[in-house]
Structure 1
């Protein structure tokens, strides 16, 4: 059954997006982000256990996606787990999920912007990152349909580049299948830490759930788009990781700052390296575009409930986008991108997003069978997996992430006290 279009009322978003549009936005958030930004630090943490770490990240992502899809079909509104946690667990847990998402994904935005800068102009990476954030914020301001069309083009370019990398690596003389052997040189903690870092790459389907107010027939579209986007991404990442490992090995991958470009050079096709650099920049732009889109929608939902300044709840009367929330998010991300470190941003982001999905899985546990509850084992494994991976991340990421959550919880408590007074 189609959900009525909420654009008839003031302050609501408009249902523009089809299943294909939603899948493309999810792919734009995931395809490329992990391959170009998280694969090398994950290899440094996991060593020869990298493939096992990827399998763990995929398993947790699958649980999270299943829980999120069932909840999104039940509550097709902007905000994602902020809405689900509030409806199923209580106001505080919804707020905590929303806060974790906003801070985590703001860090993701900065990481993607810095990835653009490091590939386009390494000596001026922060300046390029700043310009990229400003430009894509302007694209999002012009309407979600324009953003979806740009994301389609970005995804097509990135998939073509990745296909070329795979072909070169698997047919080159430097290919060694022995590099695919799974070892335990990094220990169990190293594998878990690598899985937590790789999870950064698989979390893009959250953007589909946060667009619950902008897709047509959300009860059908959201679950289908989430499962399709995640499935495609899993296959692409597995094939690319295997290809790069076959050429560089775990050690070479761990020490690489541009692993896909280094892989094609090692395979004897150096001429392809500049193309890979362009593909990396385009991939990061696609992720950044969709990230800003998702963070602004959760900001909108929290502002509607006055957990964030209510002025951010405005929806543009012509473009039907949360324009003030998008401008606020873009401004914060631009400032961070001008000063932050990309690897630290990835760890901090993973911590916040894993906490967010722990709340999503806990919320899915409370669904009844009539409400579309997933198999009980799914939210149990999802919650446990998120928490284990979150606290296995580098200690600096855990400490800064926990401090940010504590600040958010304190702000929530202070607001409640002031409201009673």
Structure 2
């Protein structure tokens, strides 16, 4: 969760709600908690790879599992584009869009090549990246709160946006929480998962939310809503009162985004592999390299699509599209959790109910372009499913 989102999502959120993004952050955290809790209960019931692709299939039917998988692949592919664009925004703050786009595409190409050869983000590297990110964020917060332009008057008017703007900011900030549900997929890898995972989720979300609140207050107090909304690299700009710190923040943002991007390209390609094996995507994407033992066709396809997205959308558009598709994915997760019985470890009914309603409301509160593009891509996925069923005349498996 401490990756590209914390460096990139606050600017578009401020554009939507001003200082009201603080309320949006709380709403996004609540929806994230419900989603993660529902996913944790489902993971305990179905400890398989695939996440909601599996849960939707088992609880709601094959179509909903497929649609969840489709939403995950397209949403996280857009997340990859957003992370690459974040690297470019902080690395080349004064460059024009063509140069930033070229750098972002180069970053994706390099990481795709690393993944192709089986290079993964190890545990020690993850710890190093998180440590560097926390250190950079701490320094940026201190600099922002103590700079000459810092003033609590920058928080006024509060909330600074209407209900629609606050909900839009929540939908955009939901992107910053990406990664929380990975805790819920570790049922086969931890001791006493039925006790450990429900404890780990609120601790992880609470710790991350604490960091996000501190960063949000710092950038608002240092820049004010208007400057924050216009900033391409808000944390670096907020730390500008300490000249030596600005390049450190830029480097830290690049490291955090690169770490997230490396892991995310890996995850998207594996979900693509699973869907290809099940016949929901072209079978060629299920190929595994004989030497490196990686789904090399899927990884190359993901890299190409991410590069195209980088050339077609800006950072705000990538964040909005990603949030819409991933919110649809978690809406299916909450609907699946609702069907669990008490014997199967169902969470309190209020959790999947709030999660499902929250996902739907936040998804359709996003910028209009993101809603239209996301709806069109999900509809395309549903259309592919229908055509494929009719062409192959496959009977729907009984649950």
TM-score of the superposition, structure 2-length normalised? 0.90
After superposition, the C-alpha distances for 1:358-389 in whole angstroms (9 at most, x for unaligned) are 00111111112222211110000000000000
Which of 294, 316, 322 lines up with 1:343 in the alignment?
A: 316
Moved more, 173-182 or 375-384: 173-182
CA distance in 2, matches of 1:206, 1:340: 26
Matched, 1:132 2:107: yes
Distance 1:399 1:302 in 2: 25
Superposition pairs of residues 325-336 of structure 1, within 5 angstroms: 325-336=298-309
Mark the runs of 5 or more structure 2 residues left unpaired by the alignment: 395-399
- Are 2:171 and 1:196 aligned? yes
Structure 1 residues 325 and 226 mapped into 2: Cα distance closer, same or farther (>3 Å)? farther
- Name the residue aligned to 1:6: none
Residue 102 of structure 2 corresponds to residue 110 of structure 1 = no
Does residue 242 of the first structure (1) align with residue 217 of the second (2)? yes
Q: Shift of the alpha carbon at 1:210?
A: 6.4
Post-superposition CA distance 1:281-302 (Å, at most 9, x none): 1121122122212212221221
CA–CA distance in 2 between the matches of 1:113 and 1:128? 8
Q: Secondary structure at the match of 1:392?
A: coil
Structure 1 pair 330–392 and aligned structure 2 pair: CA distance change class (3 A): same
Q: Which runs of 5+ in 1 are unaligned?
A: 1-29
**Structure 1 Cα separation of the partners of residues 270 and 23 of structure 2:** 34
- 2:364 match: secondary structure: helix
SS in 2 for 1:369: coil
Residue 258 of structure 2 corresponds to 285
1:226 and 1:212 mapped to 2: Cα distance? 13
1:324 to 2:297 alignment: yes
Cα distance in 1 for partners of 2:298, 2:313 equals: 22
Please point out which of 357, 362, 373 is paired with 1:400.
373
Tell me how large the CA RMSD over aligned residues is.
Answer: 2.4
Is contact 2:8-2:234 (8 Å) kept?
Answer: no
User: Is residue 234 of structure 2 the alignment partner of residue 259 of structure 1?
Assistant: yes
- Alignment partners' CA distance in 2, 1:264 and 1:176: 14
Call closer, same or farther: CA 1:50–1:182 in 2, change over 3 Å.
farther
Q: Deviation string for 1:308-339 (max 9, x for gaps)? A: 12333345566554443223212321332244
1:379–1:80: structure 2 CA closer, same or farther, 3 Å change rule? same
Instruction: Determine if contact 2:21/2:166 at 8 Å carries over to the other structure.
Output: yes
Q: 1:292 to 1:366 in 2, by over 3 A?
A: same
Task: Using the TM superposition, name which of 105-114 and 169-178 deviates more.
Answer: 169-178
- 1:312 match: 285
Separation of aligned partners in 2, 1:150 and 1:402: 37
SS at 1:160's partner residue?
helix
CA deviations over 1:118-175 (Å, ceiling 9, x no partner): 2223342112111211222233344475444433332222111111111222334433
The equivalent residue for 1:34 is: 5
- Which residue of 1 is the match for residue 205 of structure 2? 230
User: Which SS does the other structure have where 2:232 is aligned?
Assistant: coil
Q: CA deviation at 1:216?
A: 5.9
2:122, 2:276 → 1: CA distance? 23
Separation of aligned partners in 2, 1:76 and 1:142: 28
Matched, 1:65 2:36: yes
CA distance in 2, matches of 1:167, 1:128: 30
- 1:51·1:182 contact (CA, 8 Å) conserved in 2? no
Is residue 23–residue 159 contact of structure 2 (8 Å, CA) maintained in 1?
no
- After the TM superposition, which of the residue ranges 199-208 and 382-391 deviates more from structure 2? 199-208
Matched, 1:53 2:28: no
Change over 3 Å in CA distance of 1:316–1:50 after alignment to 2? same
Instruction: Quote the offset at 1:350 in angstroms.
Output: 0.8
Task: Find the counterpart in structure 1 of residue 69 from structure 2.
Answer: 98
Greater alpha carbon shift after TM alignment, 64-73 vs 304-313: 304-313
Residues 225 and 64 of structure 1: CA distance in aligned 2, closer, same or farther (over 3 Å): same
Structure 1 residues 75 and 140: alpha-carbon distance in aligned structure 2, compared to 1, 3 A threshold: farther
What's the CA shift string for 1:162-194, capped at 9, x where partnerless?
Answer: 111112223344332344467244211011111
**Which secondary structure does the structure 1 equivalent of 2:279 belong to?**
coil
